[in-house]
Each structure stands twice: as structure tokens, then as C-alpha cells.
Amino acid sequence: MTDHKTRLAVFCSGTGSNFKALHRSIAEKKINAEFLICLSNRSTCGAIHYARENGIPAIQMAENQYSDYDSFTEAMLDALKIYRIEYIILAGYMRKVPDAVVDAYRERIVNIHPALLPKFGGEGMYGINVHKAVLAAGESESGATVHMVDEEYDRGRIVLQQKVPVLPGDTPETLALRVLACEHELYPRALRKILEEMNASDAP
Ligand code: GAR
């Protein structure tokens, strides 16, 4: 590990349990990084509360606060610049990241998806919808995927996946809980891998 802590922004829309799992791994020094800002499209949510309780600046940034989409995108890029953010971590962020941000952070935006991509990804496939679709398809297993973000929903390079069984009698909610527990283990492992590979490729 180098001495440099990678500067992270986390984008969230909800409970933020993945954010918490990552933050815990950083505190335990399993990942050499730090969260500088938490950005949410919502004015309040679990992730925002958690960020503030832990001294991480949390800001709401939603499209409807700006006169047009370009201004929204500019504001997002400005915030990332002010905090000198190196990687963006999507942790239950239910909005599409603007293309200009994806372009500025090519291969430096990470997402976790609650299914085994490329299955059960794409527009509209988020949160409980994903687990409903997995059960409706009669799958015997599901899981989580950490991937890099590009301009298309859930399509970027896959970093790591972890499987969980679908059990008889599962509802979308019981499956969601099993997948979420797996996400909390997978996301820190995947982020550590990404940052180690990045450091290795930067080495002389
Ligand atoms: C997680 O299951 C995450 O994979 C999913 O939302 C949940 C957020 O939980 N993300 C998506 O569906 C994005 N397409 P959290 O707020 O407790 O981390």
C-alpha cells in the first residue's frame, strides 16, 4: 500500500448500508482511502445522516434544484473538483450519473448491483425490482456484482461477483436481505482490489 489515501465521493439515495460497510473497512484499515463527501439526490436519507454523524460533508444534489441538466452536471463536477475526488462510489444511488461525469471519471466510478450481471440489469432494474425479476424468472441463484460505470445502465466492466442461493419460499424481501448481506462483504473486497490494481499500474 502507498501512503496516499484515495479520495472518494459516495453517491447514495437510501439507507446507505453499503456506504457504512465500506466506511467500516476503511476505519479497519483494510482499504487505503477516505470519504470526502456524500452526495445524495434526496434531502435526507440514512446515508446522509450517517455521513454527518461521522464528520463527512453531505450534500443534496438533485436535477430539480437546477435550471437545466447542464447546470446540474456542472455543479456535480465542481463539487468533485473542490474535494479533489479521485473515485466515485455508487452505493444505492438510484439516479443515472451524467455522461459528462462518467467521461471525466472514466474507469473511476464504481457501482454495486444486487444481481449477477449481465442478468437483471438495465433501466428500471434497481432495488426490490431486481429481486422480483429474479424470482419471477425462477432462478436458483442470485448475488451481487461490483462493476465500473459507463454511459449505459449496469453495463461496465465487472470487477467481482458473489453468489447467494435463492431458497424455496423466498419473497423479494427475504432475497433482498440475503443479497444485501453478501454486498457488505463483496463491496469492500472489490474496492480494495480496484485500488490495489490502480496503485500497481501507477508504480514505476
Ligand atoms: C443495494 O442492494 C444496492 O445493490 C442497490 O440498492 C441497495 C441499496 O442499499 N442498488 C441498486 O439497485 C442500484 N442499481 P443501501 O442503501 O443499504 O446500500
Per-domain residue ranges of the chain: 6-202
For the whole model, what pTM was predicted? Answer: 0.96
State if residue 143 touches ligand 1 by the CB under 6 angstroms criterion.
Answer: no
Q: Do the strands 58-60 and 158-165 form a parallel or antiparallel pair, or are they unpaired?
A: unpaired
State if residue 127 touches ligand 1 by the CB under 6 angstroms criterion.
Answer: yes
What distance in angstroms lies between residue 118's CA and the mean position of ligand 1's atoms?
16
Active site residue 4: no
Residues 6 or more apart from 92 whose CB is under 8 A from it? 12, 13, 14, 15, 16, 17, 18, 19, 47, 112, 127
Report the residue among 93, 96, 126, 146 best suited for mutation to probe ligand 1: largest number of ligand atoms under 8 A from its CB. 126
For the chain, the 3-state helix, strand and coil shares in percent, each to the nearest 5, are 40, 20, 40
User: Grid coordinates standing for 144?
Assistant: 451481487
Fold of 6-202: Rossmann fold (3.40.50)
> pLDDT in tens for each of the 204 residues of the chain?
568 999 999 999 999 999 999 999 999 999 999 999 999 999 999 999 999 999 999 999 999 999 999 999 999 999 999 999 999 999 999 999 999 999 999 999 999 999 999 999 999 999 999 999 999 999 999 999 999 999 999 999 999 999 999 999 999 999 999 999 999 999 999 999 999 998 888 766
Q: Do the strands 87-90 and 6-12 form a parallel or antiparallel pair, or are they unpaired?
A: parallel
